[in-house]
Structure 1
Amino acid sequence: MSRRLVILIGAGVGALVLLWVGGWLLVGGDIPRNTIVRSHDLSGDLNVGGMSREQVSKLVKRDVTQMAKSRVVVDVDGRVFKRKYSDLGIFLDAEATVNQIKSRSSNPITIVQALTGGLAYDPVYTFSESTLTRAISDIAAQTDLAPTEGDVVFSGVRPVAVAAAAGHALDIEAAVKTVRSRWNESRIFRFKSPLIAPQVTTKEAQSALPLAKNAVSGTVLLKVDGHDVNLKASDIAYALDFANDGSGNLVPIFSSELLTQVLGLKWTKWVTPPLNAKFSAVGGVPKLQPSAPGHAVSDEELTSALLPAIRAVGTSRVASVQTSLVEPRVTTEMAGGLGITEVISTFTTKFPPAAYRIQNIHRAADLIDGTILKPGEIFSLNKVVGERTAANGFAEGIIINQGRFEKDFGGGVSQVATTTWNAAWFSGIDLVAHMAHSFYISRYPAGRESTVAWPKVDMRFRNNFDTPVMVDTSYTNSSLTVSIYGKKKYEVETITGPYRNIKEFEILDDDSPTCIHQDGVQGFDITVTRVVKLNGLEVKREPFNTHYIPEDRITCTNPEAVFGNPTPPKPKIKATPKPTATPAATPSPTPTASAMPTGSATPTPVP
């Protein structure tokens, strides 16, 4: 190799070394020049090149402070919700964000990259999957719209066909995944809810109208065990319902309970429920009331007998049914051997009368009445009451779901669940499981109420006493009382905390003909604590935290939006109430929650 070539090579290497040293010096200190950390809201970049890590940490923490004031936009079907990062369970980890930044490197490629543009880093976030899912679920609860099923209802004695309409529901799981996967790209997330088709079509509702019209075209003579009961057109309209058979077909169903409500003694003179053995407090001491058999007509038998009659005209509108002897579930002998000495607890709630609600509350209460729990046994409302179906004696009721009509079986059973839950609460018995309503319902005590839904959402408690207990129910057409009898063991104190994290409801206009007015109710969090004492000493302290989401205020702007009041008119003649227990000697807790901050509550759905 020539001397000249060696000199040239040496000069070239020296120049490269000088360039490398110069570049290395120009890159800066620990953190290379032109290093970028993106801001939390993606609106700008933080140039942290040449800073110390302590300086970068202060800068990132300052961005975290600004983040607390920022909002993430969630747009569902055109409705915009602005949520705090923390409400979505998303938090910026300042330490991890700084630690991910690479120190100044001797790698020539890294040096060139730093000098010509630098490296960019996204902030490091932690995600609470459960909080994010709950936040998206809260939004979905305000935007989801159940399909309106085709139906036939009666306005007085005039049958009306309800047109079917599609609903929609946000795919919560997909929405959560989208927020996670696109988090470093945007702070605005738009979702379109998939449509849900109704099962019962408008055509099916129209096809059921002729039968409904003929049903109320005249009176029907119904013979009960040979005794005449005259059904007027208004009685037929009150007791007749059209229900989805599960395949999208509307089938007529008559209800014995609704005939009880509308006919009163004219019906209960011949059709009587069995009476379970019960206890009533007389002078503070439980007195056993003996059981008695009843005479019943099932809804299936009643419907089978009346269908030919309502299809007929004139004097052919005659039907006949035979009652069946029904034995009580709890006999005098069974109750007498329980060793019951006193009323452990009792609780009463009130409700606005509605035909479907009365039927369902009475039916669920009847199924619960007389339930005996031996030591260690668990009460499950779903197990005791069973699925809420027509075959099980429940009626379809109009509920409000996001300001729209929806019919479902079992409307009102949550009233039974809440009343029973509170009776268990004040007895000191072990509370096993419950779920509060999504929205606050003003007739229930805040943070001390329960909803149920077949088959998964249940209300359960366990008999932790040394002796059996009996669950007793009694009711009128506007109130329900649940009492627990046995041998008292515990004293119970309740501590109700203040409303926290109060969230205002939205104010919306609805121009649809099926609109229902809602006053709106605020969302809030509340903690209610049960303190259980034995002989004056605290043995258990149980805090129950409840999160209520706000319910929108809906103003109906369509002048045709007049049909669908979820509370049907009260029956002219009330049902004969079951025998009610004499109030316990100990004070009964009142089902009254603390006053709402502002805005009256409209229950949604109506339980």
Structure 2
Amino acid sequence: MSVFDTDDQPRPDTSDAAATDDAPASGPDRSDGSETGRRRGRRRGRRGRGRRIVITLAVVIPVVVLAATVGAWAYDTRDDDQVVRNVTLAGVDVGTMSQAELTDTVAELADRYQDTAVTLEVGDRSIETTVGDLGAKVDQEATVAAALDVGRDGSVVGQPVSWARSFLDGETAPVVFRANPVRVEEALVTLQGEERTPPVEPGLELVEGRYEVVEGVDGQGIDPADVLSGLNRVGIDSEGPGAAITLEVENKTIPPRFPDADAEALAVEANDMTDEPLEITAGGETANATPAQLQNWISSKVGAERLRLKIDKEKIKVDLPLILPAFGDPPVDASFTVGAFGPEVVPGRPGTGCCAPGSAAIVATALREGTGSVELQFGPREPDFSTEDAEALGIVEEISLPDEEPCNSGAASGCRSSTHHNCCESRVTNIQRMADIVRGYVIMPGGHFSINEVVGQRTTANGFVTAGAIENGEHVESVGGGVSQFATTTFNAAFFAGLDITSYQFHTEYLSRYPYGRESTVSYPAPNFIVENNTPYGVLMWPTYTDTSITMHLYSTRYATGAQTGQTTSSRGSCTDVTTTRTRTFVDGHTETDTFSGYYRNSGPTC
């Protein structure tokens, strides 16, 4: 019968001596079956059962509690895309947030952290800045991952314990910062000023057509790595973007981030790339990019993680049409002509040529892979100056004024856009040659016309001949002689059209074929003659000539009209100083005056 049986039947006597009332038996009850004996037996049974229940509960309850804790932890952490409960991030309760909600929260915090004040304590100096100005920012992906890891890292036993403890203390997720070292370096250069000597990373330079290593140089100042590590220490228990950050840093020697050996490897790579020309084929035609051209495209660059070779695709894009200039059907720019009814736009047209979009990237890949040749496709090419560009300039009417009397080779005060000369002289060849070069030139709004820039040096190769000229007060023969008459004609056309004349010089002796005190000489490289376009419209220059005259027609939209409203003279030794006053009347009704001054020699080479 079990020890837990409770019937009252007397048990068999199995011992040699019965237990007494004063000394309980150690064996089975040997009472005589009286009521007292039965009560003693029941008490002993209850005491045994109690001890067993206590022992059982002492074992079972912790197991149940542990099982419940583990179960609750397992339930709470079952979803890897959800933050466990009781977690804060930068002062924000993110517990039980889904990954999507957490990502949005971190993005909002990251924006606010950009303006968080940062104080860099360097010895006895404090430098004030912000997280964003330091070139740092919240690493949103890493911060999200760190928050999701809270309560899930550590040992299998430790994770539930940490989770349970979070109900008392809570858990804090770190804010993780990241930064591009190059940007931090740039920020520290600005913040420290003369106190900082930035390290110089090793690089490359061209020496006699070969890439050589430029060794790195140590710097002195705050180490960018110290700034980033300091931010991340603060981020572990960050109170949020509104809490200012103080970092204790020090000035120290800062070595370059990359060793010279990295640059040496780049030099080998760059020299291998540019040892031989690159053969470029397009439209069945082939040309070579020379090693010098290839080297123009390649340089060393300091990256965030390593030194690398940079192949400049923009430079390749610019150079390809120069390497393959005549390939395809070149586009034609819009231009102007002058017909019976005034100025007309000659439409431009698109063409084809080197090269199709993406060609620069194809060439860069060929360089990196060392193929030695590359095949490209022609692409559409638009004119640099389109029909729409021309039409937008407002070149619609003549703004130069017609001549008045007198205007001839002996009396020229009425000349406003023309001057006259004798027929058939060699100087006339030069005047007309200059007119042919300039015809069709457009002075863009805000731009200028310079005779020496547009025409260049007067040479026989450029169509000029030897003719009379004045140099240093002496009459001489010179290639291009006589072209000052073209300058004077242009001077008067611009004068009465109301344009700005910013560079001019009177002849040193007065010539009757020019208006007195309203003319200019020109030579190469000086003196020069320059007209500025002070209007919002383009100005088309259209010189014409006959055997005995040259006329400068200017076409635009009328902006102002000039008139000679005064002239003064005074003697100075053997010279006469002359000042001519112009009044300009603008289309809005207001007027302005300006003056033009010079001198004429009466006799002798000097005043």
**Same fold, judged at TM 0.5 (above):** no
User: TM-score, with normalisation over the residues of structure 2?
Assistant: 0.33
User: TM-score, with normalisation over the residues of structure 1?
Assistant: 0.33
Which structure's CA Rg is the greater one?
Answer: 2
Q: Which has the higher contact order (CA 8 A, sep 6+)?
A: 1
